[in-house]
Amino acid sequence: MAELAEQTSPGREVPLHVQIVRGRERGARLRSFAIHPRDGSRVVITLHAPGLVVIGELQQELHVMPGQDSDVLRFRLKAPAPGLHQVTVRAFRGGTFLGEVTCQMSVEFDSVTRDGPRRHAPLPSMAFDPGEVTLQVEKDEAAGTFRFQLIGERFHAPETFHFRGGDPGRATEQIYAELRRAAKDAARSGGDGDGPRLRGRLRNHGVQLWTSAVPRAVQRQFWDEADRIAAFTVLGEHDIVPWELLYPLNEGREDRGFLSEWLPVVRRVFGQDRVRSIGVPGAAFVVPPGSPADAWDEVTSLRATLGKGVADGGVLTERAALTALIEGGPAGLLHFACHNAFTGSGSCVTMADGPFDPIDLAWAAQLRTLRTHRPLVFFNACRSAGEIDWFGESLGWAPQFLNAGAGAFVGTLWPVRSRSALQFAETFYDQLIAHGQPLGRASVTARHAVRDLHDGDPTWLAYAVYGSPAATAHTTPRESDP
């Protein structure tokens, strides 16, 4: 729960009060703690207030005892200039994100300070995952800087960072362009030829990203905790760096490969719910008309992989039917096999009755229609040339589905080979559903299965996974995990 003035004048100090409370009214509903009841739980509260001056610390600790409301934290804020400001309050336990709540404050000259309403956000679980580390990345639009903060066993101070050469998006686009060319070459050659050279090229891109896009202080912090890290979550600005391609390498440190090669790397968007249990009682497939045989082969193969324990929800070819399903709150898996039906920018799927793009999810996102059943959404969107198109520069599909309440989202960052994509999906579903592996570990196993399948093919690095690394899937109704 957070409480902040909704109106004030420039230069006037206002308090922000934060508290974790038991489940009365709309407050945070806490579950049982996995700790000794006499010890309580240490929760770190962080503040993101772009455009405002925070007087004092940006983070404070709360001690929460089972069955009791916490004490009230007090942050002091001041606005130097008029404008509408948003303040985001986040809660972490260890390196695990628990939840967030946002407040807004209007600052105008000669305004009277007026109390704002209490803002609430549920904390469905106080459970944390030992070994999880979160890298929080926030952008200050006015200053043109980014703030990196590594959160794990230790709660490191934020590091303000200016990217070398200005906008990092330009360098990222150059990498994506090279990867698109590599994917086409791999598709044409069947994986033969210049694989070692491409692997070396990918490695050097990853090392350069690590060197130029991650502050040195954060690099040191990462290595200090590396042997204790079991999963790596990136929270925040995702379109600036292809995090899956990072290759941590520093003098005197062991070369362990790409970050996503040896650790589960998952993403989280701002405002995304924390989901630890994903229901997969059934599966529906999206295959637009005119798709080549690859798309239908993918559906046939995945039906066999999922098995009889997952009900077949059929194949959707029309936008109207797809929209109705999403707005109705489906349970289970929604798998897009959109070969030859994606636009070049990855922003639109061509269905039988018209285009389907992220804006068509606005109603569902506003009403959180997917929140009841927390479905898994998987985008494989191949072209007939045997590649899967990147699903959008801003990754618009992911935030829209996640804001609508999806339990997890998987998609590609650049074009990849159809055969490799099918292998990734088969292994991922087999590990997640049949073998009960958590989301993060299932994604690592799927990457390994594809990594050496076709020499010179970068598919195994192309997948971005959004969700909780510890989330598990189940095919029968059950209560959410604590």
CATH code at 397?
A: 3.40.50.1460
Q: What is the number of structural domains in the chain?
A: 2
The CA distance from 438 to 129, in Å, is 12
Residue 188 lies in a domain: no
pLDDT of res. 37 = 54
Average pLDDT over residues 325-343: 82
Of 54, 83, 113, which residue constitutes the final position of a domain? 113
Dihedral of CA atoms 437, 441, 445, 446 in degrees, nearest 10, equals 90
Q: Has this prediction a pTM greater than 0.75?
A: yes
Interior angle at CA 262, CA 346 and CA 382, nearest 5: 20
pLDDT of res. 29 = 41
When the pLDDT of each residue in the chain is averaged and rounded to a whole number, the result is 85
Of 57, 92, 113, which residue constitutes the final position of a domain? 113
Domain limits at 392? Answer: 277-474
Higher pLDDT, 321 or 190: 321
Residue 254 lies in a domain: no
Buried b (16+ CB within 10 A) or exposed e, 464-480: bbbbbbbbbbebeeeee
Residue 120 lies in a domain: no
pLDDT of res. 192 = 54
Question: What letter would DSSP give residue 114?
Answer: B
The percentage of residues in the chain with a pLDDT greater than 90, rounded to a whole number, is 58
Lowest mean pLDDT among 150-164, 388-402, 420-434: 388-402
Across 305-371, where does the E strand assignment appear? 311-316, 333-337, 349-351, 354-356
Backbone angles phi, psi at 232, to 5 degrees: -125, 115
Residue 46 lies in a domain: yes
pLDDT of res. 393 = 37
Residue 138 lies in a domain: no
Average pLDDT over residues 223-249: 90
Residue 290 lies in a domain: yes
Name the band, by pLDDT with cuts 50, 70 and 90, for residue 36: very low
**Which residues are within 8 A (CB) of 307 and not within 5 positions of it... i.e. 6 or more apart?**
433, 434
Backbone angles phi, psi at 53, to 5 degrees: -95, 125
Of 62, 95, 113, which residue constitutes the final position of a domain? 113
Enumerate the β-bridge partners of residue 45: 60, 91
Lowest mean pLDDT among 19-23, 189-193, 408-412: 189-193
CATH code at 109?
A: 2.60.40.10
pLDDT of res. 163 = 72
Residue 412 lies in a domain: yes
DSSP letters for 425-449: HHHHHIIIIIS---HHHHHHHHHHH
The CA distance from 209 to 216, in Å, is 12
